[in-house]
Amino acid sequence: MSARDSLPAQPSLDLEALYRDSNVRDALEALERELVGLAPVKTRVREIAALLLVEKLRRTVGLQAEAPPLHMSFTGNPGTGKTTVAMRMAGILHALGYVRKGHLVAVTRDDLVGQYIGHTAPKTKEVLKRAMGGVLFIDEAYYLYRPENERDYGQEAIEILLQVMENQRDDLVVILAGYKDRMERFFASNPGMASRVAHHIDFPDYAEAELLEIAERMLERMQYRLSDAARQALVDYIALRRTQPHFANARSVRNALDRARLRQANRLFARRGQPLATADLMTIDAEDIRASRVFRGGAGKGV
């Protein structure tokens, strides 16, 4: 008799209904709709959601269903949406009932590592307690490990983290984020950490068209719009900016838009006294963008 025959008769199980009833569908659809590009990331998030849904269904029929470890590592260049996706992830895991509260606590090395002996453990534990029931997002996690200084307190923070990641899996999910190459080196030198992080998600850089779309969505949310000439200027801007140093994908676009708003306000202010329409207040013109340093052979620092 095969294993399949020996299964007791079951009423047919409805995965679709489970999907429909949990609000994970809204969260997944919002992820799909509101974030531009990031195809591999979205696929991975969907896979994780599917896994958790199936686990949930298995539990309803009394099959062995151990909550899978969900600690993750997000790698990618700056401005590729790691924090945003982490925030969405918290919402999705909450909708699936994997974490109880679904909040995100974003920290860096400074929040975890203390400055003198005996300072690190309480500090790390406090952060962990705050993150319980939700997601702990550690940005630039590799700074925790400083091999050049053997007395660095980062190691202590890593050990406490590992202990909680292992023993209190139901209480929180840890997401480590950072540049790809440095994260790889971090995992290579911390095998304990590498073995406890089940999901490695790589965030690709945005294409130019995607960056333009991101810009337009940002403007729409802020209730601005681009004139046709300004759109062309922005296309040129993005193409140029990508080749320059310190390019940070969507973050650079956001900064560019913030400065364009500044110039637009300045332009309107300069011709005060003349009548203004609502459309004038909303429209960003080509000159607002073309005045950028990027068109004059390069941004220095701080962009």
Partner 1 sequence: MRLTQGAFSFLPDLSDAQIRAQIEYCLKSGWAVSVEHTDDPHPRNTYWEMYGMPMFDLKDAAGVMAEIDGCRKTFPEHYVKVNAFDSTHGWESLRLSFLVNRPKNEPEFFLQRTEAAGRNVRYATVRRDVRAR
The residues of the shown chain that bind partner 1, judged by CB under 8 A, are: 100-101, 103, 122, 126, 128-130, 132-134, 168, 171-172
C-alpha to C-alpha distance for 137 and 134, rounded to whole angstroms: 10
Of 59 and 101, nearer to partner 1 (C-beta) is: 101
C-alpha to C-alpha distance for 172 and 200, rounded to whole angstroms: 17
- Minimum Å gap between C-beta 82 and partner 1 is 22
Residue whose C-alpha is closest to residue 236's, from 222, 226, 246, 225: 226
- Minimum Å gap between C-beta 102 and partner 1 is 9
Of 133 and 204, nearer to partner 1 (C-beta) is: 133
Of 133 and 192, nearer to partner 1 (C-beta) is: 133
- Minimum Å gap between C-beta 133 and partner 1 is 3
> Are 39 and 83 in contact, with CB atoms under 8 Å apart?
no
Element spanning 101, H or E: none
- Minimum Å gap between C-beta 136 and partner 1 is 12
- Minimum Å gap between C-beta 127 and partner 1 is 10
Residue whose C-alpha is closest to residue 301's, from 235, 237, 255: 255
Of 38 and 164, nearer to partner 1 (C-beta) is: 164
Of 101 and 217, nearer to partner 1 (C-beta) is: 101
C-alpha to C-alpha distance for 233 and 230, rounded to whole angstroms: 5
List, as own/partner pairs, every contact residues 209-212 make where C-beta atoms lie below 8 angstroms and the sequence separation is at least 24, other chains included: 210/36, 210/37, 211/238, 211/249, 211/250, 211/253, 212/238
Residue whose C-alpha is closest to residue 111's, from 69, 157, 155, 177: 157
